[in-house]
């Protein structure tokens, strides 16, 4: 697979491909190509992307937030400019070159691996929930050997500004879960690297809009094979979180052990996982879910039938599949739930599944504190980041 991708990448950029053992012919002297500026933010807020790929047939930009077609000039440089100014945010984008997705070669100092695969990041200054002048907390990486999952597991811990390890009252805890990603260790940091969760909490805490809290951002696949067994690994991860990660954090940090002061949320696959904690209200009582991937609740997940969309929507779960995941959930749970926050955009292919789950909760007489379907919103980080900024201020406060 690596050889195939390497060839496609070389061919797409118009470079010679050599058979094994073939010596390269002497190349004629060529003046060095001028360095490309990509991305380039104009004074009016529009952004131009550039890629040198003279041999490519079709190139586009993905993640801004809709696909943006690029055109090629006489020098083999592809370019495209957004039709409108991009709103202040952090964007994960990549180039699609004849079907192969790659990060921006001109922006390799700001890359990562996330829900879109290998991507480059672009920040448009002025994001209202990430004030760079706010006092900053600290982020630490932890790796441990999980007896439950069967391998080394990673989680990050954010402590708020002015964190006091000897404070009499232990700090409340928020857990954030990632979506599907290429690897367990890399995905653990998604909410920090791509989500800016630490900066969001710095700002909200600094402005007095959120209470000081500890954030845990773990690898949540629940197995050692990454995406391949992600859905099957949900129960393993829930156990590892409760039996391994939380106890370790409580030993190392001044973190609460009270369910009434613990929250969990996530995006996509992680959003579905966070809702499984409705089965463990003895451990978490503040629950959020951003664009939940409920298709992972069925044993049919990953099959061609579940990947197929009809009218832009993924197939619904079959009768009994929600019940199988929440066998004991009933109205009595309302007395323990401090917050249940669910949101999914109208342009998201998981919307009908979200509505199906909402109907399931209503049939069980479970009260949803906050439910929304923002118009025109897709399955993107530019939606999930502000959702965290809206969710965090609601946490660990008395009900209105």
Contacts of 312 (CB under 8 A, 6+ apart): 347, 349
Domain boundary among 73, 93, 124: 124
Same domain as 229, residue 165: yes
Alpha carbon distance 294, 342 (integer Å): 12
Position 19 in a domain:
no
Size of the chain in residues: 400
The tens place of each residue's pLDDT in the chain, 400 residues long, gives 333 322 222 223 332 222 333 444 555 555 556 789 999 999 999 999 999 999 999 999 987 767 799 999 999 999 999 999 998 887 878 999 998 989 999 997 666 555 555 778 888 887 766 666 789 999 999 999 999 999 899 999 999 999 999 999 999 999 999 987 644 556 888 899 878 899 999 999 999 999 999 999 999 988 866 555 567 788 999 999 999 999 999 999 999 999 999 999 999 999 999 999 999 999 999 999 999 988 887 777 777 777 667 777 888 888 999 999 999 999 999 999 999 999 999 989 899 999 999 999 999 999 999 999 999 888 888 899 999 999 999 999 986 5
Kindly report the backbone phi and psi dihedral angles of residue 218, in degrees, each rounded to the nearest multiple of 5, phi listed first: -100, 160
CB 129 within 8 A of CB 181: no
169 and 256 inside one domain: yes
> Is 358 in the same domain as 243?
yes
CATH number at residue 316: 3.40.50.1820
| Residue 77 host element (H or E) | strand 77-81
Cβ contacts of residue 247 below 8 Å, gap of 6+?
Answer: none
Q: Say if residue 280 is in the same domain as residue 340.
A: yes
How many domains would you assign to the chain?
2
Do 110 and 142 fall into the same domain? no
Domain of 254, in residue numbers: 138-394
Q: Which two tokens stand for residue 19?
A: 């058979």
pLDDT of residue 110: 63
- For 36, the token pair is 């490309």
**Shared domain check, 359 and 234:** yes
The closest of 162, 155, 159, 199 to 177, measured between CA atoms, is: 155
Residues 119 and 160 in one domain: no
């Amino acid at each position: 697979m690596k050889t195939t991708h390497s060839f496609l990448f070389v061919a797409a950029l118009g470079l010679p491909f050599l058979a094994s053992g073939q010596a390269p012919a002497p190349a004629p002297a060529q003046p060095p190509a001028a360095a490309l500026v990509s991305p380039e933010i104009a004074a009016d807020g529009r952004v131009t992307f550039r890629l040198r790929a003279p041999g490519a047939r079709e190139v586009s930009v993905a993640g801004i937030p809709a696909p943006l077609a690029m055109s090629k000039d006489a020098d083999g440089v592809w370019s495209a400019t957004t039709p409108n100014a991009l709103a202040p945010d952090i964007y994960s984008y990549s180039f699609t070159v004849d079907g192969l997705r790659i990060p921006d070669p001109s922006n390799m100092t700001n890359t990562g691996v996330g829900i879109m695969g290998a991507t480059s990041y672009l920040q448009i200054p002025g994001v209202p929930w990430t004030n760079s002048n706010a006092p900053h907390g600290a982020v630490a990486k932890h790796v441990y050997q999980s007896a439950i999952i069967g391998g080394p597991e990673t989680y990050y811990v954010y402590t708020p500004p002015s964190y006091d390890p000897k404070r009499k009252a232990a700090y409340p805890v928020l857990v954030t879960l990632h979506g599907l990603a290429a690897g367990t260790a890399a995905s653990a940091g998604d909410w920090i690297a791509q989500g800016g969760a630490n900066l969001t909490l710095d700002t909200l805490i600094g402005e007095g809009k959120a209470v000081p809290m500890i954030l845990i951002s773990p690898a949540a696949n629940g197995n050692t094979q990454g995406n391949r067994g992600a859905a099957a690994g949900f129960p393993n991860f829930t156990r590892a979180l409760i039996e391994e990660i939380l106890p370790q954090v409580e030993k190392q940090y001044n973190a609460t052990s009270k369910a009434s002061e613990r929250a969990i949320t996530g995006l996509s696959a992680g959003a579905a996982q966070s809702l499984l904690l409705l089965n463990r209200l003895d451990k978490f009582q503040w629950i959020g879910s951003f664009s939940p991937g409920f298709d992972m609740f069925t044993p049919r997940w990953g099959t061609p039938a579940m990947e197929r969309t009809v009218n832009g929507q993924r197939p619904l779960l079959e009768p009994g599949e929600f019940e199988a995941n929440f066998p004991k959930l009933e109205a009595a749970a309302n007395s323990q739930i401090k917050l249940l926050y669910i949101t999914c955009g109208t342009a998201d292919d998981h919307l009908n599944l979200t509505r199906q789950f909402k109907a399931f909760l209503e049939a069980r007489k479970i009260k949803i504190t906050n439910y929304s379907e923002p118009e025109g919103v897709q399955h993107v980080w530019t939606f999930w980041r502000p959702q965290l900024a809206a969710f965090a201020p609601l946490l660990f406060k008395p009900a209105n």
